[in-house]
Structure 1
Protein backbone atom coordinates (compact mmCIF):
# COMPACT_ATOMS: atom_id res chain seq x y z
CA UNK A 1 0.00 0.00 0.00
CA UNK A 2 2.87 2.38 0.79
CA UNK A 3 4.36 1.77 -2.65
CA UNK A 4 1.07 2.86 -4.22
CA UNK A 5 1.18 6.13 -2.26
CA UNK A 6 4.78 6.70 -3.33
CA UNK A 7 3.84 6.10 -6.97
CA UNK A 8 0.98 8.58 -6.66
CA UNK A 9 3.28 11.20 -5.13
CA UNK A 10 5.89 10.58 -7.83
CA UNK A 11 3.32 10.97 -10.60
CA UNK A 12 1.88 14.17 -9.09
CA UNK A 13 5.37 15.61 -8.60
CA UNK A 14 6.36 14.85 -12.20
CA UNK A 15 3.25 16.62 -13.52
CA UNK A 16 3.77 19.59 -11.18
CA UNK A 17 7.42 19.97 -12.19
CA UNK A 18 6.58 19.72 -15.88
CA UNK A 19 3.97 22.47 -15.54
CA UNK A 20 6.41 24.55 -13.50
CA UNK A 21 9.08 24.32 -16.20
CA UNK A 22 6.62 25.10 -18.99
CA UNK A 23 5.35 28.17 -17.14
CA UNK A 24 8.89 29.33 -16.49
CA UNK A 25 9.81 28.85 -20.13
CA UNK A 26 6.80 30.89 -21.26
CA UNK A 27 7.28 33.82 -18.84
CA UNK A 28 11.06 34.05 -19.13
CA UNK A 29 11.06 33.31 -22.86
CA UNK A 30 8.53 36.08 -23.43
CA UNK A 31 10.69 38.59 -21.56
CA UNK A 32 13.91 37.54 -23.28
CA UNK A 33 12.29 37.61 -26.74
CA UNK A 34 10.91 41.08 -26.04
CA UNK A 35 14.31 42.20 -24.77
CA UNK A 36 16.11 40.88 -27.86
CA UNK A 37 13.67 42.58 -30.23
CA UNK A 38 13.13 45.95 -28.51
CA UNK A 39 15.87 46.31 -25.83
CA UNK A 40 13.62 48.69 -23.91
CA UNK A 41 13.52 46.66 -20.66
CA UNK A 42 16.28 46.32 -18.08
CA UNK A 43 18.12 43.02 -18.34
CA UNK A 44 20.00 43.74 -15.10
CA UNK A 45 16.78 44.16 -13.11
CA UNK A 46 15.39 41.05 -14.77
CA UNK A 47 18.40 38.91 -13.82
CA UNK A 48 18.47 40.26 -10.26
CA UNK A 49 14.74 39.90 -9.56
CA UNK A 50 14.16 36.59 -11.34
CA UNK A 51 17.04 34.82 -9.58
CA UNK A 52 15.03 34.04 -6.38
CA UNK A 53 12.34 32.48 -8.54
CA UNK A 54 14.92 30.37 -10.37
CA UNK A 55 16.49 29.36 -7.04
CA UNK A 56 13.08 28.24 -5.74
CA UNK A 57 12.44 26.35 -8.95
CA UNK A 58 15.83 24.62 -8.68
CA UNK A 59 15.15 23.65 -5.06
CA UNK A 60 11.71 22.26 -5.91
CA UNK A 61 13.24 20.31 -8.79
CA UNK A 62 15.91 18.78 -6.56
CA UNK A 63 13.52 17.94 -3.73
CA UNK A 64 10.49 16.81 -5.72
CA UNK A 65 11.85 14.98 -8.78
CA UNK A 66 11.14 11.23 -8.54
CA UNK A 67 14.15 8.97 -9.01
CA UNK A 68 14.12 5.60 -10.73
CA UNK A 69 16.68 2.81 -10.83
CA UNK A 70 18.15 1.35 -14.02
CA UNK A 71 15.30 -1.17 -14.31
CA UNK A 72 12.70 1.59 -14.21
CA UNK A 73 11.44 0.86 -10.71
CA UNK A 74 10.69 3.77 -8.40
CA UNK A 75 13.61 4.37 -6.05
CA UNK A 76 12.54 7.65 -4.46
CA UNK A 77 9.27 9.52 -4.96
CA UNK A 78 10.61 12.91 -3.87
CA UNK A 79 9.12 15.32 -1.38
CA UNK A 80 5.43 16.07 -1.75
CA UNK A 81 5.21 19.29 -3.78
CA UNK A 82 1.59 19.74 -2.71
CA UNK A 83 2.59 20.12 0.94
CA UNK A 84 1.76 23.23 2.92
CA UNK A 85 4.30 25.63 4.37
CA UNK A 86 7.59 26.50 2.75
CA UNK A 87 6.74 24.67 -0.46
CA UNK A 88 3.64 26.83 -0.88
CA UNK A 89 5.66 30.01 -0.33
CA UNK A 90 8.19 28.92 -2.95
CA UNK A 91 5.42 28.41 -5.49
CA UNK A 92 4.00 31.82 -4.54
CA UNK A 93 7.38 33.47 -5.18
CA UNK A 94 7.62 31.74 -8.55
CA UNK A 95 4.08 32.66 -9.65
CA UNK A 96 4.34 36.28 -8.51
CA UNK A 97 7.65 36.61 -10.36
CA UNK A 98 6.14 35.19 -13.54
CA UNK A 99 3.22 37.58 -13.33
CA UNK A 100 5.44 40.58 -12.74
CA UNK A 101 7.75 39.53 -15.57
CA UNK A 102 4.81 39.46 -17.99
CA UNK A 103 3.57 42.82 -16.64
CA UNK A 104 7.04 44.31 -17.19
CA UNK A 105 6.89 43.24 -20.81
CA UNK A 106 3.47 44.88 -21.17
CA UNK A 107 3.88 48.05 -19.10
CA UNK A 108 7.57 48.81 -18.59
CA UNK A 109 10.39 48.67 -16.07
CA UNK A 110 8.54 50.47 -13.27
CA UNK A 111 6.45 47.36 -12.68
CA UNK A 112 9.52 45.69 -11.13
CA UNK A 113 8.68 47.68 -7.99
CA UNK A 114 5.69 45.38 -7.50
CA UNK A 115 8.17 42.62 -6.77
CA UNK A 116 8.79 44.40 -3.44
CA UNK A 117 5.51 42.81 -2.36
CA UNK A 118 7.26 39.44 -2.04
CA UNK A 119 9.74 40.39 0.72
CA UNK A 120 7.11 42.67 2.31
CA UNK A 121 4.74 39.70 2.57
CA UNK A 122 7.57 37.59 3.99
CA UNK A 123 8.31 40.23 6.64
CA UNK A 124 4.62 40.45 7.51
CA UNK A 125 4.32 36.67 7.91
CA UNK A 126 7.56 36.52 9.90
CA UNK A 127 6.45 39.34 12.21
CA UNK A 128 3.09 37.69 12.84
CA UNK A 129 4.84 34.37 13.49
CA UNK A 130 7.22 36.07 15.91
CA UNK A 131 4.27 37.72 17.68
CA UNK A 132 2.53 34.36 18.03
CA UNK A 133 5.68 32.75 19.39
CA UNK A 134 6.15 35.55 21.93
CA UNK A 135 2.55 35.26 23.04
CA UNK A 136 2.82 31.49 23.45
CA UNK A 137 6.03 31.91 25.46
CA UNK A 138 4.39 34.46 27.74
CA UNK A 139 6.70 37.26 26.69
CA UNK A 140 3.98 39.48 25.28
CA UNK A 141 3.89 42.93 26.78
CA UNK A 142 0.10 43.16 27.12
CA UNK A 143 -0.53 39.79 28.69
CA UNK A 144 2.10 40.04 31.44
CA UNK A 145 0.95 43.23 33.17
CA UNK A 146 -2.41 44.66 34.09
CA UNK A 147 -3.61 48.22 33.50
CA UNK A 148 -1.74 49.63 36.56
CA UNK A 149 1.55 48.19 35.38
CA UNK A 150 1.70 45.74 38.30
CA UNK A 151 2.54 42.10 37.82
CA UNK A 152 -0.33 39.83 36.83
CA UNK A 153 -1.80 37.66 39.59
CA UNK A 154 -0.62 34.06 39.53
CA UNK A 155 -3.06 31.50 38.21
CA UNK A 156 -5.06 29.82 40.94
CA UNK A 157 -5.95 26.17 41.07
CA UNK A 158 -9.55 25.02 41.46
CA UNK A 159 -9.55 24.79 45.27
CA UNK A 160 -8.06 28.28 45.60
CA UNK A 161 -10.64 29.72 43.22
CA UNK A 162 -13.50 28.22 45.26
CA UNK A 163 -12.09 29.64 48.46
CA UNK A 164 -11.71 33.12 47.00
Structure 2
Protein backbone atom coordinates (compact mmCIF):
# COMPACT_ATOMS: atom_id res chain seq x y z
CA UNK A 1 0.00 0.00 0.00
CA UNK A 2 2.98 2.29 -0.39
CA UNK A 3 2.25 5.50 -2.30
CA UNK A 4 -1.49 4.84 -2.43
CA UNK A 5 -2.28 8.52 -3.03
CA UNK A 6 0.27 8.72 -5.86
CA UNK A 7 -1.12 5.57 -7.47
CA UNK A 8 -4.66 6.92 -7.21
CA UNK A 9 -3.59 10.23 -8.76
CA UNK A 10 -1.75 8.40 -11.55
CA UNK A 11 -4.83 6.29 -12.32
CA UNK A 12 -7.12 9.32 -12.27
CA UNK A 13 -4.76 11.33 -14.51
CA UNK A 14 -4.40 8.48 -17.01
CA UNK A 15 -8.16 8.02 -17.22
CA UNK A 16 -8.83 11.73 -17.64
CA UNK A 17 -6.17 12.12 -20.33
CA UNK A 18 -7.48 9.08 -22.22
CA UNK A 19 -11.01 10.47 -22.08
CA UNK A 20 -9.84 13.91 -23.21
CA UNK A 21 -7.85 12.55 -26.14
CA UNK A 22 -10.73 10.29 -27.19
CA UNK A 23 -13.30 13.11 -27.14
CA UNK A 24 -10.92 15.40 -28.98
CA UNK A 25 -10.19 12.78 -31.65
CA UNK A 26 -13.91 12.13 -32.20
CA UNK A 27 -14.73 15.84 -32.45
CA UNK A 28 -11.86 16.59 -34.83
CA UNK A 29 -12.70 13.57 -37.00
CA UNK A 30 -16.33 14.59 -37.15
CA UNK A 31 -15.38 18.17 -38.00
CA UNK A 32 -12.95 17.08 -40.72
CA UNK A 33 -15.62 14.83 -42.24
CA UNK A 34 -18.07 17.74 -42.22
CA UNK A 35 -15.39 19.94 -43.77
CA UNK A 36 -14.69 17.34 -46.46
CA UNK A 37 -18.35 16.89 -47.45
CA UNK A 38 -19.36 20.54 -47.22
CA UNK A 39 -17.95 23.85 -48.38
CA UNK A 40 -19.62 25.55 -45.45
CA UNK A 41 -16.58 25.61 -43.14
CA UNK A 42 -13.22 27.35 -43.34
CA UNK A 43 -10.15 25.13 -43.04
CA UNK A 44 -7.94 28.10 -42.16
CA UNK A 45 -10.14 29.14 -39.22
CA UNK A 46 -10.38 25.53 -38.09
CA UNK A 47 -6.59 25.20 -38.03
CA UNK A 48 -6.03 28.48 -36.18
CA UNK A 49 -9.02 28.51 -33.81
CA UNK A 50 -9.72 24.80 -33.43
CA UNK A 51 -6.62 22.69 -33.72
CA UNK A 52 -3.94 25.09 -32.51
CA UNK A 53 -5.30 25.92 -29.02
CA UNK A 54 -6.86 22.52 -28.45
CA UNK A 55 -3.95 20.29 -29.36
CA UNK A 56 -1.35 22.62 -27.84
CA UNK A 57 -3.11 22.67 -24.48
CA UNK A 58 -3.81 18.94 -24.63
CA UNK A 59 -0.10 18.34 -25.22
CA UNK A 60 0.79 20.55 -22.25
CA UNK A 61 -1.78 18.84 -20.01
CA UNK A 62 -0.53 15.45 -21.18
CA UNK A 63 3.08 16.40 -20.44
CA UNK A 64 2.41 17.67 -16.92
CA UNK A 65 -0.23 15.10 -15.97
CA UNK A 66 1.01 11.86 -17.54
CA UNK A 67 2.31 9.38 -14.95
CA UNK A 68 5.89 8.19 -15.45
CA UNK A 69 6.99 4.65 -14.72
CA UNK A 70 10.33 2.93 -14.14
CA UNK A 71 11.50 0.15 -16.47
CA UNK A 72 10.25 -2.47 -14.00
CA UNK A 73 6.73 -0.97 -14.07
CA UNK A 74 6.79 0.77 -10.70
CA UNK A 75 5.50 4.30 -10.46
CA UNK A 76 8.20 6.98 -10.70
CA UNK A 77 5.96 10.10 -10.65
CA UNK A 78 2.20 10.40 -10.72
CA UNK A 79 2.25 13.67 -12.64
CA UNK A 80 0.66 16.93 -11.61
CA UNK A 81 -2.91 16.94 -10.39
CA UNK A 82 -5.07 17.67 -13.44
CA UNK A 83 -7.92 18.76 -11.19
CA UNK A 84 -5.86 21.54 -9.61
CA UNK A 85 -7.05 25.13 -9.56
CA UNK A 86 -5.30 28.03 -11.19
CA UNK A 87 -3.58 27.74 -14.55
CA UNK A 88 -4.44 24.05 -14.96
CA UNK A 89 -8.11 24.82 -14.47
CA UNK A 90 -7.89 27.65 -17.00
CA UNK A 91 -6.27 25.32 -19.56
CA UNK A 92 -9.12 22.83 -19.13
CA UNK A 93 -11.61 25.67 -19.61
CA UNK A 94 -9.95 26.62 -22.91
CA UNK A 95 -9.96 22.99 -24.10
CA UNK A 96 -13.65 22.60 -23.25
CA UNK A 97 -14.55 25.95 -24.79
CA UNK A 98 -12.72 25.02 -28.00
CA UNK A 99 -14.80 21.86 -28.18
CA UNK A 100 -17.98 23.89 -27.65
CA UNK A 101 -16.93 26.30 -30.40
CA UNK A 102 -16.30 23.43 -32.80
CA UNK A 103 -19.80 22.10 -32.15
CA UNK A 104 -21.21 25.61 -32.55
CA UNK A 105 -19.44 25.96 -35.90
CA UNK A 106 -20.95 22.67 -37.04
CA UNK A 107 -24.40 24.07 -36.23
CA UNK A 108 -24.06 27.75 -37.20
CA UNK A 109 -21.31 27.65 -39.80
CA UNK A 110 -18.25 29.89 -39.78
CA UNK A 111 -20.04 32.47 -37.64
CA UNK A 112 -19.61 30.07 -34.71
CA UNK A 113 -15.89 30.86 -34.56
CA UNK A 114 -16.80 34.23 -33.03
CA UNK A 115 -17.51 32.35 -29.80
CA UNK A 116 -13.78 31.82 -29.42
CA UNK A 117 -13.57 35.52 -28.51
CA UNK A 118 -14.95 34.59 -25.10
CA UNK A 119 -11.55 33.12 -24.16
CA UNK A 120 -9.49 36.34 -24.42
CA UNK A 121 -12.35 38.38 -22.96
CA UNK A 122 -12.50 36.05 -19.98
CA UNK A 123 -8.72 36.29 -19.65
CA UNK A 124 -8.91 40.07 -19.49
CA UNK A 125 -11.69 39.84 -16.90
CA UNK A 126 -9.71 37.34 -14.79
CA UNK A 127 -6.57 39.47 -14.89
CA UNK A 128 -8.55 42.61 -13.99
CA UNK A 129 -10.33 41.00 -11.03
CA UNK A 130 -7.08 39.46 -9.80
CA UNK A 131 -5.29 42.81 -10.08
CA UNK A 132 -8.09 44.63 -8.25
CA UNK A 133 -8.10 41.98 -5.51
CA UNK A 134 -4.36 42.31 -5.04
CA UNK A 135 -4.65 46.10 -5.09
CA UNK A 136 -7.35 45.96 -2.41
CA UNK A 137 -5.20 43.59 -0.34
CA UNK A 138 -2.22 45.93 -0.53
CA UNK A 139 -4.42 48.88 0.43
CA UNK A 140 -5.48 47.01 3.57
CA UNK A 141 -1.86 46.30 4.45
CA UNK A 142 -0.94 49.99 4.22
CA UNK A 143 -2.61 50.76 7.55
CA UNK A 144 -5.77 52.27 6.15
CA UNK A 145 -7.64 51.62 9.43
CA UNK A 146 -6.77 54.96 11.04
CA UNK A 147 -8.36 54.02 14.37
CA UNK A 148 -5.85 55.86 16.58
CA UNK A 149 -7.19 59.39 16.32
CA UNK A 150 -10.71 58.65 15.11
CA UNK A 151 -12.18 56.33 17.69
CA UNK A 152 -15.68 57.68 17.19
CA UNK A 153 -15.83 57.32 13.43
CA UNK A 154 -18.19 54.85 11.82
CA UNK A 155 -15.40 53.23 9.77
CA UNK A 156 -13.49 52.26 12.90
CA UNK A 157 -16.50 50.62 14.56
CA UNK A 158 -17.70 47.12 13.85
CA UNK A 159 -21.26 46.29 12.89
CA UNK A 160 -21.88 44.95 16.35
CA UNK A 161 -20.83 48.22 17.98
CA UNK A 162 -23.05 50.21 15.61
CA UNK A 163 -26.05 48.02 16.46
CA UNK A 164 -25.43 48.51 20.19
CA UNK A 165 -25.32 52.29 19.76
CA UNK A 166 -28.50 52.23 17.72
CA UNK A 167 -30.30 50.11 20.32
CA UNK A 168 -29.30 52.38 23.18
CA UNK A 169 -28.23 51.54 26.71
CA UNK A 170 -29.51 48.28 28.19
CA UNK A 171 -30.12 49.72 31.63
CA UNK A 172 -31.17 53.07 33.00
CA UNK A 173 -29.25 54.96 35.66
CA UNK A 174 -31.06 56.76 38.53
Tell me which stretches of 4 or more aligned residues in structure 1 moved more than 4 Å.
Answer: 160-164
The number of residue pairs the alignment matches comes to: 151
The structure-2 alpha-carbon separation of the partners of 1:156 and 1:18, relative to structure 1 and needing over 3 Å to count, comes to same
The structure-2 alpha-carbon separation of the partners of 1:11 and 1:162, relative to structure 1 and needing over 3 Å to count, comes to same
The whole-number CA distance in structure 1 between the counterparts of 2:150 and 2:37 is 78
Aligned match of 1:7: 7
TM-score by length of 1: 0.83
What is the deviation of 1:80? Answer: 0.5
TM-score by length of 2: 0.79
SS, match of residue 75 in structure 1: strand
Matched, 1:53 2:54: yes
What is the deviation of 1:70? Answer: 1.1
Structure of larger gyration radius = 2
Which stretches in structure 1 are left out of the alignment for 5+ residues? 145-151
The whole-number CA distance in structure 1 between the counterparts of 2:40 and 2:145 is 67
Aligned match of 2:170: none
What is the deviation of 1:27? Answer: 1.3
Aligned match of 1:35: 35
The structure-2 alpha-carbon separation of the partners of 1:153 and 1:85, relative to structure 1 and needing over 3 Å to count, comes to closer
Asked whether the 8 Å contact 1:30–1:102 carries over to 2, the reply is no
What is the deviation of 1:161? Answer: 6.2
**Cα RMSD after superposing both structures:** 2.4
The whole-number CA distance in structure 2 between the counterparts of 1:80 and 1:2 is 19
Q: Which has the higher contact order (CA 8 A, sep 6+)?
A: 1
| 1:51-80 deviations in Å (ceiling 9; x for gaps) | 122211111000000011111110110001
The whole-number CA distance in structure 2 between the counterparts of 1:74 and 1:17 is 17
Aligned match of 1:107: 108
